[in-house]
Structure 1
Amino acid sequence: MTVDQNPAGSSKGNVLLTGGSGFIAAHVLDCLLDHGFDVVVTARSDEKGQRIVKSIDNADGKKQASYVVVGDIAKEGAFDEAVKSANPPFDYVVHTASPYQLHWDDPVRDCLDPAIKGTTGILKSVKAYAPSVKRVVITSSSAAVLNPPNHREVYDETSWSEITWEEGVEDIKKTYRASKKFAEKAAWDFVANESPSFDLATINNTYTFGPIQRSLPSLEAMNTSNHRIRDMVLGKMRKGIAPTAPVFTFVDVRDVALAHVRAMTIPEAGGNRFYLVGGYFSNPRIADIIREMPDEKLKLKGKLPSKEETEEDFPDDHWRFDSSKAQRVLGIEYTSLEKSVRDTVESILGFKGA
C-alpha cells in the first residue's frame, strides 16, 4: 500500500529509501525532498508509514513522498513488490534499513540475518526488477571500519573490521559490529560477482548526533548516540556524567544525510566507501556545551553536575582518523560539535510527540 503525500510535480528523479522511520533515514528523506527528488520510503507497518509522510514539512507544496510496507527485510523477495510497483521507475535506491539494539535474543535471527539478507535482498530485487536504477547507496557504519581493541594509528576508507562471524554469534556485545561488516562485505561482493547495471557507494558514519526526527513517537525511541544528550537535558546524569567509552568520534546527522544524497548523484562517488567523522567528543565536553546554553530555556539547575565535579575522560592516546574523502569527493563541510549538540538539545526541548 502506498499513500501519496501530495500531487506529483517536477522531480529530479524517483528514489526508494528503506528503513524510513529511522533516525538517519528521516534526515536523508528531508534532504532528498529538499533537493527535489520524489521518494518512496519503506516502513514496517501502515502506522509507521503514515506517520512518516504526515510529518513532512510541505509548506512549498512541491515535496512528494509516499510509503510502501515491507514487514520483514530478511524474508526472501521482501523488496520485490516495492521495486516492481514503482511508477515512475526508480532512479536510485538508498538502503538504510538495518537492526540495532543493545541485546539480542538470537544474534543470527534478530541481527545478522536481517542486516545481511536485507542488504543482499534489496540488491537482488533491484537487479531483477529495476533496470532503471543507476546507483544504490547503503548506510554502513564505522563498525565496519574500526578494529577494537587493536586499533590502527589512523583509520580511513581502506580500513575493515577484523571481527569474525563466530565472534558476532557468540558475543552479543560484538553482534552489531559483525552485522555491519558482513552486510557491507556482502554488498560489495554482490556488485563484483553479479555485475548489475547499477553501481554502489557506502556511507560509514561514526556515532551520529543531531536533531531528532519529526516522526519520532517518543524520546525513548531516539537513536542511541543521542541518548547521552537527552539524558543530560532530562537530568538523568545529575549525580555524575556517564563515562564516554568506547567511542569518542562523532558526526552530525545532517552531514550524513547530505553525504547519502551526494554519494547518490555525484558520478565520481560510485564504487566508493565514505568514512564520515566530524571530530572528537567526550561526554564532559557535551556537558560543557549544554551548560553554556541560555539556562532560562534549558532550566538546567540541578540537572547536571558542575564543571568542577566533572572529570574529562578523553584518552591521551586516542587513534586518529582521516575522513577527508567525503570532503574532497562529496563536498561535505563537517558540522562542529558545538552546533550539533546545541541543535540536538533544541530539538529535544521542542519535542511534542508524533
Structure 2
Amino acid sequence: MKVLVTGGSGFIASHCLKALLVSNHTVVTTVRSAEKGERILRVYPESTKGQLSYVVVPDIAQEGAFDQAVISDPPFDAVIHTASPLHFRFKYPKELLDPAIHGTKGILRAIKDKAPSVKRVVITSSFAAIICPDEHPDVYSESQWNPVTYEEGIEDRGKTYRASKTLAERAAWSFMEDEKPGFSLATICPPCVFGPPIHPPESRETLNTSNAYFAMLMHGGWKEKLPPTGIWLWVDVRDVALAHVRAMEVPDAGEKRFFITAGHFDMKEVADIAKKMFPQYADKLPIELISDKPNPLYGFDNNSSKEILQLEYLSLEKSVVDTIDFLQSHPV
C-alpha cells in the first residue's frame, strides 16, 4: 500500500513510519520543514529507492494545508494522521486547540476532494478524548467521551490538551457522518505513551513529554519525591505504532475507535524497575518509594485492540529499560 503519514518527525509518527517500512509499505510523510524531512530520510538509508519520501506542510491549521500533500502518483491507498501538538509549554490555548481541530478537518476534506483512491484513514486520538476526570466510570472503553468543551479548553489550561484531542476526534467522526466520504475511519486512543524515541534528542527541552520524565529520573529530578502518575494507564509507543498500521490494514477496523493500553502502572513501578535494572540510579530516587495509585481504581477494556488488531502488549519493564538504554546512548 502507499500511505501518507502526517507529522512524521513526531514521537508516535516516527514509529509508525518504521512499522510501515518494515511491512514493505511505500510511505510519504508530511513535515514542517525540509530539514526535518532530510533528518527522517537519514534514519532509513537502507529503504529502497522511492519507498520513503516527504512533503513540506508548514502549518497544518491553514486552510487547504494538505491539498497538495494528498495528491500522489501512484495515488495513496491510506492516510495515517498523527500531526497534532503535544506539549504543555504553549503560551495561548489556541496554539494546541486550533491546529488539532482544523488540521483534522482539513486533511479529511483534502482526502475527500482530491484523493478518491484513499480507502482507510487512521487518526491518532488519545485517552484524553475518553477520560471523564470529574466522574470516572468503573471501566474505561472506547464508548466513553470526555465531556470537555472548546470554551473550557480556552479558559482552563489544565483542560486545553484534552480539549484539543477530544474536539479533533469529534470533528473527524462528525465529518464522516455529514460528508459520507469514500473512505472509512479508525481512531487510536492511547493513554501515557512510553518507549524509546526513533530520533536522538537535540536537547532535553526537545524530548517528548513521556521521555522527559525518564531524563528527569536519570538527572536526579525524582530524588526528593516521585512525580505524580496522573492517569495510571500506559502503553509502549511501538504497540501504538503497530495499532495504527493494523487499523489501516485490517478490514474490520473501519469505523471503530480503539482504546490502546497495556494496563495500569504508577511511577513507583517505573522507579522500582529503574532501581532494579540500573542500580546506578538508586541514589537519584527517594529512599522510600510510595505508590500514588488509588484504591479502588477504574478498570479498562482493551479487548477490541486484542481481538481486531491482534495486539500483544509489551511489558512495562521492557518499555522502561529500552527507554533508559536509549537515553543513556544519546545523553542530553
TM-score by length of 2: 0.96
SS in 1 for 2:277: coil
Where 2:157 maps in the other structure, the secondary structure is coil
Structure 2 alignment gaps of length 5 or more: none
CA RMSD of aligned residues (A): 1.6
> How far did 1:99 drift?
1.4
Q: Which residue of 2 aligns with 1:10?
A: none
Aligned to 2:102: 117
2:75 corresponds to which residue? Answer: 89
Which residue, out of 31, 34, 43, partners 2:31? 43
Match in the other structure for 1:191: 176
Q: What SS does structure 1 have at the residue aligned with 2:68?
A: helix
Q: Post-superposition, which runs of at least 4 consecutive aligned residues in structure 1 deviate over 6 A? A: none
Of 25-34 and 286-295, deviating more is 286-295
Alignment of 1:52-67 (within 5 A): 52-56=40-44, 58=46, 61=48, 64-67=51-54
Taking the aligned partners of 2:310 and 2:138, their CA distance within structure 1 comes to 25
Q: Deviations over 1:196-226 (max 9, x none)?
A: 1111000001110011122543343222122
Question: Where does residue 105 of structure 1 map in the other structure?
Answer: 91
| Per-residue deviation, 1:233 | 1.9
1:103–1:172 Cα contact (<8 Å) kept:
no
Unpaired runs of 5+ in structure 1? 1-12
Q: 1:150: how far off?
A: 1.1
The alignment partner of 1:88 has SS state of coil
Shift of the 302–104 alpha-carbon distance from structure 1 to 2, 3 Å rule, reads: same
1:212 paired with 2:191, answer no
Give % identity: 50
- What SS does the corresponding residue of 1:150 show, helix, strand or coil? coil
> What's 2:66 paired with?
79
Given the alignment of the two structures, is residue 237 of structure 1 paired with residue 228 of structure 2, yes or no? no
Matched, 1:320 2:308: no
Structure 1 residue 77 displacement after superposition: 0.4
The answer to whether the Cα contact below 8 Å between 1:279 and 1:337 also exists between their aligned partners in 2 is no
Counterpart secondary structure, 1:236: coil
Rounded Cα–Cα distance in structure 2 between residues aligned with 1:270 and 1:301: 47
In the TM superposition, residue 241 of structure 1 has moved relative to its aligned partner by 2.0
Tell me how far apart the structure 2 counterparts of residues 74 and 169 of structure 1 sit (CA, whole Å): 17
- Residue matched to 1:302: 283
Using the TM superposition, give the Cα deviation of residue 230 of structure 1 relative to its aligned residue in structure 2, in angstroms.
2.0
CA–CA distance in structure 2, aligned partners of residues 273 and 45 of structure 1 = 31
The equivalent of 1:146 in structure 2 is 131
Distance in 2 (alpha carbons) for counterparts of 1:318 and 1:75: 41
Q: Tell me the distance in 1 between the aligned counterparts of 2:50 and 2:43.
A: 12
Q: Does 1:247 pair with 2:231?
A: yes
Counterpart of 1:269? 253
What CA deviation, in whole Å up to 9, does each residue of 1:152-171 have, x standing for no partner?
11110111111122211111
CA–CA separation in structure 2 for the residues paired with 1:63 and 1:40: 9
- The 1-side partners of 2:28 and 2:309 are apart by 24
Aligned to 1:8: none
Structure 1 residue matching 2:123: 3-state secondary structure: strand
Give secondary structure in 1 for the equivalent of 2:284.
coil
Q: CA deviation at 1:323?
A: 1.0
TM-score of the aligned structures, taking structure 1 as reference length = 0.90
Secondary structure of the residue aligned to 1:80 is coil
**In the alignment, which residue of structure 1 is the partner of 2:240?**
256
User: What are the superposed Cα offsets for residues 123-159 of structure 1, whole Å, 9 maximum, x if unpaired?
Assistant: 0111111111110000000000001021111110111
Matched pairs, number: 332
Give 1:184 shift.
0.4
Contact 1:104 / 1:172 at 8 angstroms: preserved in 2? Answer: no
Residues in 2 aligned to 1:204 and 1:225: alpha-carbon distance in whole angstroms:
16
